[in-house]
Amino acid sequence: MLPALSLGPFTLPTRPVLLLLGLWLGVSLVEREGRRRGIGGVLAIDALWGLTAGYIAGRMGALLLYGLSSPWDLLSLIRPVDPTLAPIPALLVAAGVIAWRWHRHRIPWGVGLDAMAPLLLGIALAWALGDWAEGRRYGEPTSIPFLAMLGGGERHPVQLYEAGLVVLGFAVWYRIRKHLQVPGSSFVLALVLYSATRLTTEGFRAESPTWMGFRVPQLLAFAGLMLGLWGLAWMEGRSRDP
């Protein structure tokens, strides 16, 4: 684990640095996908607006959950050290802002979603590495010395497993996306690959919520995988009908 980075006299928290790098990588790829589709850099700007609004909404939601003792607590919105977010408000606001800007710019939904796929994978990669740096969402105990050392104790470094599978998934997505015909299929493919990643890694994760003996995150990942594969086959199959 690596909670902080020392750069001479400066010490930076690792997780925010990784998240910023992941966002930079993802937004750069969104811009590249937009230019490849003849839209230019509009999609990247729309993504930045949505991410900014979603982050503020998520931080506000987390702060209101614990209460504000004074107006000065609002300054913690811009603190990169505390990663606490309310995920549902963050996702809803980010999606709403991006959808509104797509409507203004008359961007087809399928084209916009396809361009957003690498951004989602970039955030997933940065989040997994950030969890490893801070020792969050750790894995089950293991007796394999090398893996135990990477996990910061006698545990599976499940965060690194997830990061590696996300990178592999991105490579697969990058190769296959050129052969998909229907707008929106590339986005569905990214969801399928990420669902497969979570289905695999959740089997090594400790303290996972269960329902009727099954791990809830694995059930959700399996449902996402099956629905995504069905949707991908249906969308591409219709495009090839005579």
More confident residue, 12 or 77: 12
Give the pLDDT band (50/70/90) at residue 157.
Answer: confident
- With CA atoms as reference, report the closest residue to 115 among 22, 192, 25, 187: 187
Q: What is the tens place of the pLDDT at every residue in 13-47?
A: 777 788 888 888 999 999 988 888 788 789 999 99
Residues 6+ away with beta carbon under 8 Å from 20: none
Q: What is the tens place of the pLDDT at every residue in 131-156?
A: 888 878 888 877 777 666 666 677 88
Residues 6+ away with beta carbon under 8 Å from 50: 93, 94, 95, 97, 98, 101
Residue 81 is predicted with a pLDDT of: 47
Q: Give the pLDDT mean for 85-92.
A: 84
Pairing relationship of beta strands 4-7 and 10-13 according to DSSP bridges:
antiparallel
Report yes or no on whether pTM surpasses 0.85: no
Check pLDDT > 70 for residue 77: no
Query: Looking at the DSSP assignment, which residues form a beta bridge with residue 13?
Result: 4
Residue with tokens 């997830």: 162
